[in-house]
Amino acid sequence: MRGAVSSGMLLALEQLGMRNSFDTVVGTSAGAIAGAFFVTGQGTSGSVLYYTVLNSERFVNRRRLLRDGAIMDLDYLIDDALDRHGFNWDDLLESDIPLWATVTPADEDNPKRLFQVGKTEAHARRVLAATACLPVIAGPSRFVDDKAYVDGGMLEGVPWVSALTFDATHVLVIRSRGFNKNQEVEPLNKLERATVPRLVKRIHNEYVSEVVKLSSLRFWNNTEALRVVLEGRAEPLGTNGRDVQIDAVIPPPETDLPDRLEVDTHVLMDALTAGAQSMVDYLNLEGFSVEQRVVVTHPRAPVGRVRTSALAPIVSSRRGSSR
């Protein structure tokens, strides 16, 4: 649910007519799902899901865990909500911008870390479910090509390193939260340490349990490496001598960030707005503002697509030469 922030950033890029500035999109978990809307030009209609569908007990229900169920119902999201709200899978398969999603294998002998989202509709659905399968919270591991996977963020919370494997020369990272101020690993609390590994081992397996134990440290290493690269204190590995420019869009510190199971409508709408405003501010576009509007919708009347070219001429005329 924290993906509402990055969804707002992509929404701004879409409405500013800048979707075609990108050759490839790499996403992790909610970022991959938001990426599916972005590469198909459906980011505006996709963002509505956060405060009309996903904030319901049908998607997030903590009581289900007491019955050995998943708190977060990915099947409802991928196989029901997206369809009912007009997501066009054919557009995803035919998109001129390839979408890749990171995954975490549930078997230590499986080296697979990335899937292209778009081989077939059924395959795309399985990949999007796998990349967002938070251990325990989203239920059992998900299968793609007969192999089990869980949330890609367990190994790579922010997939900027994976983006470099595509010989990228420019990488724009969009983050759903800022960097840790005290630059320390955020460990599991006492209750989580006592319960989470045991639950993960029971629902998944011992290997996934070990992966989860180290996920906070991996996330810290991933984001701290990004921080030092952005600050110019180090060059990214894996560039093979290429001159690579990496930049990041980060929500301001005062943003009231959703947690991963947030259902408060106001928090989610504010997160979308903050994400969109963060992108506008990053692009240094004077005179542009982000408005928060309530959209009344119905399953048979999905939000229409915006004319993404409408703002493009204004954006082109107002961008400074330094950007």
Structure confidence at residue 322 (pLDDT): 42
Structure confidence at residue 131 (pLDDT): 98
Q: Assess contact for 274 and 3: CB atoms under 8 A.
A: no
| Environment class of 89 (CB within 10 Å of its CB; exposed 0-12, middle 13-18, buried 19+) | middle
DSSP letter for each residue of 22-33 = -S-EEEETHHHH
Length of the chain: 323
Neighbours of 110 (CB within 10 A): 14
Rounded Cα gap, residues 94 and 98, in angstroms = 9
Structure confidence at residue 317 (pLDDT): 74
For 63, 138, 258, 274, the CA distances from 254, given in Å and listed in that order, are: 31, 29, 12, 10
Q: Assess contact for 207 and 195: CB atoms under 8 A.
A: no
Q: Along the 323 residues of the chain, how does pLDDT read in single tens digits?
A: 999 999 999 999 998 889 999 999 999 999 999 999 999 998 888 888 888 888 889 999 988 877 767 899 999 999 999 998 889 999 999 999 999 999 999 999 999 999 999 889 999 999 999 999 999 889 999 999 999 999 999 999 999 999 999 988 999 999 998 887 766 666 665 656 666 778 899 999 999 999 998 898 899 899 999 999 999 998 888 777 788 999 999 998 888 888 888 989 889 989 999 999 999 999 988 888 887 665 555 555 555 555 556 677 777 776 554 44
Q: Assess contact for 34 and 117: CB atoms under 8 A.
A: no
**Which is nearest to 49 in space by CA: 75, 78, 18?**
78
pTM equals 0.89
Structure confidence at residue 318 (pLDDT): 66
Structure confidence at residue 321 (pLDDT): 45
Q: Assess contact for 136 and 200: CB atoms under 8 A.
A: yes
